[in-house]
Amino acid sequence: MLAFSPIGDSFRNRIRNFPSLVNCTTIDWFSEWPKDALESVAVRFLGEIEMSEEVRKSCVTMVQTFHTQTETSARKFKQQLKRTYYVTPTSYLELISTFKVLLEEKRKEVEALRDRYANGYDCLIKTEGSVSVMQAELEAKQPMLIQTSKEVEIKAAQVEKEASAAEIVAQAVGKDEAVAQEAADAANAIKMDCQKDLDEALPL
């Protein structure tokens, strides 16, 4: 038993090189699968995917519809442009295989996005809890803060009063310093006169 695909030049070249394939064999052309065969194949391959039965039935119907509509479009294509586009069982199997690959990729992408959003949501919940705790602590410390603010105001008033007193004392000290400086200058002048008289009396 030999199986060949009619797509492309390979089948034509084999017939030319080996005419006995036509003269000495019986050819069975399997051009289209019936609807029940398409359904059974889709159920067989899509049964390996984890999904609900309702979704699985919808997917089976979807791949069947795609395949049959492609066959219809291929016949119209041949009628209008006189060119043959082959829709084979292999094409149907490749369609199902491609659907499985894309479904797996998209599921991974959705799971990654879901995990990212879940982590972000958890962070928001934790942050909200921390903010609530901090708010409660702040409210609990509010009376203490008010009392401390009052104490700071009292101490600031005391410091200001003591600073005023210190300023008065500094002014008084400044006056005393000026008087003392005048006395020191007078004493120094007397010392200079005495030293001058002494310098004049020492030779005598």
3-state secondary structure 2-60: CCCCCCCCHHHHHHHHCCHHHHCCCCCCCCCCCHHHHHHHHHHHHCCCCCCHHHHHHHH
Per-residue pLDDT band for 105 (boundaries 50, 70, 90) equals very high
**Hey, what amino acid is at 85?**
Y
Per-residue pLDDT band for 88 (boundaries 50, 70, 90) equals confident
What is the reported pLDDT for 8? Answer: 66
Q: What tokens appear for 191 in the block?
A: 């010392």
What is the reported pLDDT for 109? Answer: 92
pTM above 0.85, yes or no: no
| Average pLDDT of the segment spanning 88-96 | 84
- Non-local (6+) Cβ contacts of 194 within 8 A are none
What is the reported pLDDT for 188? Answer: 81
* Average pLDDT in the chain: 83
What is the reported pLDDT for 31? Answer: 63
| Average pLDDT of the segment spanning 144-170 | 84
Region for residue 150 given its phi and psi (left: phi exceeds 0; alpha: psi -120 to 50; beta: otherwise): alpha
Q: What tokens appear for 17 in the block?
A: 């090189």
